[in-house]
Structure 1
Amino acid sequence: MHTANEASTTETSPSPSPTGDATGIKSNRPKVATYINVHKILVLPVVVGLMWYYDNWSTDAFIYLAMHGTYSLLWLLKHSMYADRKFEDRVPLWFGIPFIFVPLAGYYVAPYLLISSRTAVPPPVVGLALFVYILGVFYHYVSDAQKYYTLQVRKGLIKEGLFGRTRNPNYLGEILIYSGYAVMSFHWLPFLVLAGWVFGFFVRNMLAKDRSMSRYPDFAEYKRGTGLLFPKLW
Structure 2
Amino acid sequence: MQLRHVINLHKGATPVVVAALMGIYGNGSVAAWVYLALHGTYGLLWLLKDWIYPDRQWQQPVGWGMAIAGLLVLALYWLAPFLLISSGVEVPAPIVAGAVALNIFGVFLHYVSDAQKYYTLRYHKGLIDEGLFARSRNTNYLGELLIYGSFALLSMHWQPFVVLAGFFFAVFLPNMRRKDESLSRYDDFEAYRERSGLLLPKLGSRG
Given the two structures, how large is their TM-score scaled by the length of structure 1?
0.86
Is 2:34 aligned against 1:66?
no
Is 2:55 aligned against 1:84?
yes
1:114 paired residue number: 84
How far does residue 95 in structure 1 lie from its aligned partner after superposition? 1.4
Query: Where in structure 2 are the equivalents of 1:74-223 lying within 5 Å?
Result: 74-98=45-69, 100-223=70-193
1:231 paired residue number: 201
How far does residue 206 in structure 1 lie from its aligned partner after superposition? 0.6
CA RMSD of aligned residues (A): 0.6
Runs of 4+ in 1 over 4 A off after TM superposition: none
SS at match of 1:181: helix
Q: Aligned AA for 1:79? A: D
How far does residue 129 in structure 1 lie from its aligned partner after superposition? 0.7
How far does residue 55 in structure 1 lie from its aligned partner after superposition? 0.5
SS at match of 1:152: helix
Distance in 2 between residues matched to 1:106 and 1:117, nearest whole Å? 17
Distance in 1 between residues matched to 2:15 and 2:96, nearest whole Å? 20
How far does residue 41 in structure 1 lie from its aligned partner after superposition? 1.2
How far does residue 86 in structure 1 lie from its aligned partner after superposition? 1.5
Aligned length: 204
How far does residue 205 in structure 1 lie from its aligned partner after superposition? 0.9
Q: Aligned AA for 2:168? A: V
Q: Aligned AA for 2:16? A: P
Structure 2 alignment gaps of length 5 or more: none
Distance in 2 between residues matched to 1:65 and 1:76, nearest whole Å? 16
SS at match of 2:136: coil
Q: Larger Rg: 1 or 2?
A: 1
SS at match of 2:200: coil
How far does residue 51 in structure 1 lie from its aligned partner after superposition? 0.4
Distance in 2 between residues matched to 1:140 and 1:102, nearest whole Å? 24
Identity within the alignment, %: 53
How far does residue 152 in structure 1 lie from its aligned partner after superposition? 1.4
Is 2:8 aligned against 1:37?
yes
Q: Residue deviations 1:8-52, cap 9 Å, x none?
A: xxxxxxxxxxxxxxxxxxxxxx11011001101111111011000
How far does residue 96 in structure 1 lie from its aligned partner after superposition? 1.9
Given the two structures, how large is their TM-score scaled by the length of structure 2?
0.97
Q: Aligned AA for 1:69? A: G
How far does residue 114 in structure 1 lie from its aligned partner after superposition? 0.4
